Structure 1
Amino acid sequence: MATKISPAATSRELRKAVRRPGRLEQAFNARSRLDLSSWVISVAHYTHPSLALTKALLYSALASVVTTKLPVLAAHLPALPAPQIWTRMAILDLEKVVTFLPDAGMDFTALQHTLEAEFERPMEFREDLALWRMWVFTDGTVVFGYDHSIGDGQSGPAFHAQLLAALSLLPTDPPEVSSIVDLGAITAELTPAIESVADMSVPLSQVVGGLLQEHVPWMDRKARCAWTGNPNLPHIELTCRVRVAYASPADAAKLLAVARAHKTTVTCVLHTLSILIVSRMIHEADSGAGVKYETIPSAIPISLRSQVGTPTTAMCNHVSTYTSHRGIFPKDVAAAPVSPASFPWAEATKLGAELKRARPEAAQRIGAIKYLFGKYDKHYLDKLGKKRSYGFELSNLGAFPKGEKKDGTEEGGGWAIRELWFVQSDATLGAVVKLNLVGSPEGGLGISITWGKGAIGDEFAETWVKRFKEGMQALIAE
């Protein structure tokens, strides 16, 4: 049974965080449980010249990570409607959270099916279960899924960086270990909540604007003319489609080079490419009758870690979001074959400038949560059956966190991570199409595309995926 973390085993800051969780953790928890958005998932392919990722190796490494590096993996919240007070589990049974599966395969089909199946499965909140799960394929592909209440997107690569370091310190033939981890042995501290390390104050004008948008949305002309696919379904929906791709280090380097050559970033290039493709498909669906849409509402998460000094290897929720309306490209621009010559670089550069200006004030967006005054249930449930908020979302987690170094060299022990992916569902209330990016340790780019059932037709989404891959290849062809 879960117990409150012992004061003797923690710092004053940790005790405060556990006993009096911040509003943001409560809000994240309310969101993840209400719309049952399933796991935030980070996938890594582990390799070793001569070893397989056995249960003995994995369990030993996991026990080390939980007790010495990432104590949030031992965190627990009671089932609703009990008060949401963070507690530490007394023990963690790895057999209950780790599942071993056959080979993932090189065409990503088995991986995609596994991700879709797990996204569709309702999350369980029990006192004997942690807020994370793991699925391990025999080829060393590790799927790490965690509740959004204990980590943002960058927390996935952070976990894999810690697991990789732990594996490198183990003997090549460790003895069989128990699946039971004694959580009383935890020595690490929780990462501080974002509101304790960042200025969360919100200007009055932003509060008023948010209230008007929430309660009288018909006053927002941009929202009325915005393409957001189908309305939110009137009920909670778990089914999510997943498509996975991987850009080799050579192709990722070409993409970075072409972005820098035009004084922009990979995030802005792929975001602009995505809006370009959606614009083309909107024009095609309209059949020349006159497009009634003017913009595509977009969301781009912004990490706050660099602003508050949070390590890249920490698990926490230190993230905000930049939202904007992107203009639908004219028909002639959208219909042109994608190439470095025809690409709308001005839009990519403009987006980059907007993101740069938005970063210093990004924390204010999270601070606005307090003006819900605890009515998180009503806030999100009221969105069911109504116009979707966003047509597109791009999440780029950036480069893989650098591991700890010893004697001037990076820890490795023969273990390495080749491919890496970030996958999120948010099938009920999320954007129509979500593009998720993350850099791998070897310099490649993991790409996943997701869309919730009912957000848009599968034929539309599959065509978008195909055109996105073709467009990205066209940009790096030269």
Structure 2
Amino acid sequence: MKTSAAFLRYASPNEMRTIAREDVGYYHAVVIGAVYDFAEETNVKSPSTYVHALRRCIEEHPFFCVIVGDRTTDKAYYEHVSSIDVEKQISIVQDPEIGTDPLQAIGRSVKPELDRPFVPGIPPWRIVVLPLSPTQCHVAFCYSHGIGDGIAGVAFHKTFLEGLRETPATIPSSTIAPPKKPLPEPFDTPERLTISWSFLLAPFLAQYIPYFLVKMLGLRVSASYVNDGTWTATPIFFDAKTNQNKLKIRQIEASQVNKVVQLARTHDARLSGVLHQLITRALSKAVKDNNVTNFVGQTAINMRSSIGMPNDVATEAVSGCYTLLGRSKVTGPLTTQEWASASKATKEFASAAVKLDDNPIGLLRYVSSIREWTLGKIGKKRDSSYELSNVGVFDGDAGSNTIGKDKVKVIKMTFAQPGQVGGCPISFNIASVKGGDLVFTITWQLGALGLGGEEAMEDKVVDEICDNLKQGFNDIV
């Protein structure tokens, strides 16, 4: 039975971008996962174990109580649902090889979710629980990018953890009537993201004047830095019948991460800046084409601080920043030049996180049809070589709420997203917990890399990229 719903507001241009991308089949669930470690044996295989915690998330975050109306048009809108059957949003999965390699089992449980559309008529999110032991489970929060960015998934787990730590007075009902709260205001309003005439017209003018004048006038043809020597793999393609997402998962031990972070600080850099250097090294080995001279990395930027919004607000408040990196044959510790590049990138990311004027996301409001723009990307060159998205360090003990802190803890975070059909050919997704291991996934659209042809060859190439990325951490320290 279809849930009755009430209109809340129209989607902003950037929200519309994620809705259109999902509706045409290019991109389904973002997945932010966490390994929960209970102090005592718990029935981790029962959906009822998670009902109260999910109720807390629904009550706390308005975007988890909505569905999207008119999603096939350019005027999609959000509606508040009158009720949610929480148990219908929960799946419990099993893996017979869980004892052999729990991390790979987590990867196997997450991968199918990247290709799985959401059920119409109910809020576009679900949790997939993988029991790891009588006291541990991995909870994957799988949700539409139309209701939140990567940080929204982290906010979910903060609230979910608080809910698990509480002891409800009565057995909670699985059906909830969510409170009707206003949605957070869109990040990409015209008032916030002002666009200058020069920024708006530069790509248009650059098409009609000689290239030497483009350089002389400092005009940017696009937000990216792609040139003839940039590796962008295959042109953009999509076949709904054969499209498949691929995933690899690895982890870096906490001791290694801590050493790299401490060393980076002495070079005025942060981890994301360092990761770009290591990714460039790994891709330089994987890409055999000698005509490739550089890579353009796209970094997801959390914009909440620019508008005074805390990170525990689940919404869509993300932008992007592009970094041009030369092909590298270097091995061993980072060179002076690489540390300088990591430091420069770190500063650029910090600057981008507070820059509202001439923000590329603001240009979306000038697109006449975001849906047609999305579909029109097929066959075109990609705008970058790869994406780096780091949802940060999860601290489950932060804050003043001390209730039940010894009852359950989060000891590992995971992050995955579908391959970017309309964007870069490969994505590096990073998540970690305070004092714990760093987990990364590499995701891509099958066939997008152009590095082998057969699926087995692509798997082999990405396995090597994973190994070289891990080796990079060892080489630094």
d(CA) in 1 for partners of 2:198, 2:230:
23
Q: Deviations over 1:27-47 (max 9, x none)?
A: 321123224311011010011
The aligned counterpart of 2:141 is 144
Correspondence 1:355 to 2:349: yes
Question: CA separation of 1:143/1:303 partners in 2, compared to 1, >3 Å: closer, same or farther?
Answer: same
Distance 1:44 1:216 in 2: 52
1:324 Cα deviation from its structure 2 partner: 3.4
Letter in 2 for 1:391: S
Residue 226 of structure 1 is matched in structure 2 by: 230
What are the residue-to-residue correspondences of 1:57-456 with 2, within 5 Å? 57-67=49-59, 69-78=60-69, 80-81=71-72, 84-103=76-95, 104-105=98-99, 106-121=101-116, 123-127=117-121, 129-139=122-132, 140-171=137-168, 176-183=171-178, 186=179, 188-196=181-189, 199-211=192-204, 222-236=226-240, 238-282=243-287, 285-286=288-289, 291-329=290-328, 334=329, 336-340=330-334, 344-361=338-355, 364-373=359-368, 375-400=369-394, 405-406=399-400, 409=402, 412-456=405-449
Judge which range, 148-157 or 240-249, deviates more: 240-249
What is the aligned residue count?
A: 445
2: CA distance, partners of 1:217 / 1:86 = 45
- TM-score, normalised relative to structure 1: 0.85
Q: Which has the larger displacement, 242-251 or 303-312?
A: 242-251
Aligned counterparts of 1:337 and 1:225: Cα–Cα separation in 2:
22
The 1:276–1:264 alpha-carbon spacing in structure 2 relative to 1, beyond 3 Å, is same
What secondary structure is seen at the aligned counterpart in 2 of 1:64? helix
Q: Which moved more, 1:81-90 or 1:412-421?
A: 81-90
Which residue does the alignment assign to 1:32? 22
- Helix, strand or coil: the match of 1:154? helix
Measured against aligned partners, the alpha-carbon deviations of 1:176-210 in whole angstroms (never above 9, x if no partner) come to 54332223xx1654322213597211122221234
Q: Please report how far the alpha carbon of residue 136 of structure 1 lies from its aligned counterpart in structure 2 after TM superposition.
A: 0.5
Higher helix share: 1
Pair 222,247 (structure 1): closer, same or farther in 2 beyond 3 Å: closer
Q: Distance in 1 between matches of 2:22 and 2:190?
A: 23
Q: CA deviation at 1:398?
A: 1.6
- Aligned-residue sequence identity (percent) comes to 22
Deviations 1:260-311 (A, max 9, x none): 12221110111111112222333xx24xxxx322321220011111111212
Question: Structure 2: which amino acid aligns with 1:461?
Answer: V
TM-superposed deviation, 1:434: 1.1
Normalised by the length of structure 2, the TM-score is 0.85
Q: Secondary structure at the match of 1:326?
A: strand
Q: Which residue of 2 aligns with 1:47?
A: 37
| Greater CA drift, 381-390 or 216-225 | 216-225
Counterpart residue type for residue 371 of structure 1: Y
Q: 1:444 to 1:302 in 2, by over 3 A?
A: same
User: Aligned letter for 2:78?
Assistant: W
Does structure 2 conserve the Cα–Cα contact (< 8 Å) formed by 1:156 and 1:422?
no
> 2-side partners of 1:226 and 1:23: how far apart?
29
**d(CA) in 2 for partners of 1:217 and 1:71?**
50
1:125 is displaced (CA, Å) by 4.9
How many Å apart are 1:449 and its aligned residue?
1.3
Shift of 1:168: 1.1
Matched residue of 1:397: which SS?
Answer: strand
- Distance (Å, rounded) in 2 between the aligned partners of 1:473 and 1:274: 14
Task: Work out whether residues 84 and 177 of structure 2, in 8 Å CA contact, stay in contact via their aligned partners in 1.
Answer: yes
How far the C-alpha of 1:87 sits from its partner, in A, is 0.7
> In 1, are the aligned partners of 2:66 and 2:81 still within 8 Å (CA)?
yes
For the aligned residues, what is the CA RMSD?
2.8
Per the alignment, residue 218 of structure 2 pairs with none
Partners of 2:392 and 2:403 lie apart in 1 by 19
C-alpha contact (below 8 Å) 2:395/2:433 kept by paired residues: no
Give the Cα–Cα distance (whole angstroms) in 2 for the partners of residues 168 and 422 of structure 1: 23
Give the conservation status (yes or no) of the 8 Å contact 2:420–2:426.
no
Q: Cα 1:421–1:255, aligned 2, differ >3 Å: closer, same or farther?
A: same
User: How far does the alpha carbon of each residue in 1:100-120 deviate from its partner, in whole angstroms, 9 at most, with x for none?
Assistant: 012555342222222222212
2-side partners of 1:124 and 1:367: how far apart?
28
CA distance in 1, matches of 2:143, 2:408: 23
1:213, distance to aligned residue in structure 2 (A): 7.2
